[in-house]
Amino acid sequence: MHKTIIITGGSQGLGFQAAKLLAKDKQTGIVIANRNKENTSKAVEQIKAETANQNVLGFPLDLGDFNSIKQFVVDFQNLNLPPLFALVNNAGVQYISKTRFTKQGYEQTFGVNHLGHFLLTHLLLSHLSENGKIINTASGVHKPELKTPIPVPVYKTAEKLAYCGADDGQKDAKELRHQGQVRYSTSKLCNVLFTYKLAKKLSKQQGPIQVLAFDPGMMPGTGLANDYPAFIRFVWKNVLPLQTLFGNRINTPKQSAKVLVDWVLNRKTDKTTAYFYVGGEEKSSRESYDKELQDDLWSFSEKQIETWLKNA
């Protein structure tokens, strides 16, 4: 092996399809990081069988638990694999039935989609090769101008996102759905804010590492709708996939994975950071360039992981 790539959420959907494409190069080691051990093992064996690349590994990673994140990095270090060429922060959750919390007490959408990846990235920075890449899977739902079915982000402070209370008993199903969707779109805005701020930090500290944000488009059929009612899950899995035939904002995981892998393997831009989708590079939302929001998110997140970076 000559390089290693880590993909979070790599047992299904976009992450799995990207891992499979990347594994076609038998000299590349693929590390699938995923919460469900059984699904991870199945994904690893399937990729090995289809690509004949035996350098595919799976490790448990619960992004909602800082202890699990730290243990994952310890396990990765102990393997003494080739340099880490790319970290693909792909895993994500969306909950619309009730408020859930991480092991450390953060609202789970924010905790998993942003804060868990924030800690993981920091713990792995020293392992990245000089020309390496960090790619955060964001979403077009963070852009109000796209007018997606998901409500637009509401970012006040990172602290409010992290510690929003569970007052679910006072809300009906419609209110809970709206609440969960806003939390999701806001977490995707956080992914882009983090991307830009990290790129700026690294440009002063650590060589030509690229930090990119990727909008894979809506991908019907993936597990993102698992918390929705049965009828919506049926439409998501059986009806909406037909829309992938039209345009590049609704895609199959395979379609989006091809674009993601192209950006992982190739220097598509000379910039230290960029936002791209299936159609190519584009501007992210106006709010994502707000330096005050970037600073607020970074400052809060940095304080939350201080203890966990010790002795790393």
- DSSP calls for 273-298: EEEEETTEE----GGGG-HHHHHHHH
Angle between helices 117-124 and 173-205 (to 10 degrees): 20
Query: Would you say how long the chain is, in residues?
Result: 312
Determine how β-strand 273-277 pairs with β-strand 210-215: parallel
184: annotated active-site residue: yes
Using an 8 Å Cβ cutoff, are 125 and 201 in contact? no
Among residues 95, 106, 184, 228, which one is catalytic?
A: 184
Q: Residue 128 in 3-state DSSP?
A: strand
Using an 8 Å Cβ cutoff, are 73 and 124 in contact? yes
Element (DSSP H or E) covering residue 254: helix 253-265
Q: What CA–CA distance (Å, rounded) separates 198 from 133?
A: 12
Q: What CA–CA distance (Å, rounded) separates 305 from 177?
A: 30
What residues act catalytically?
A: 184
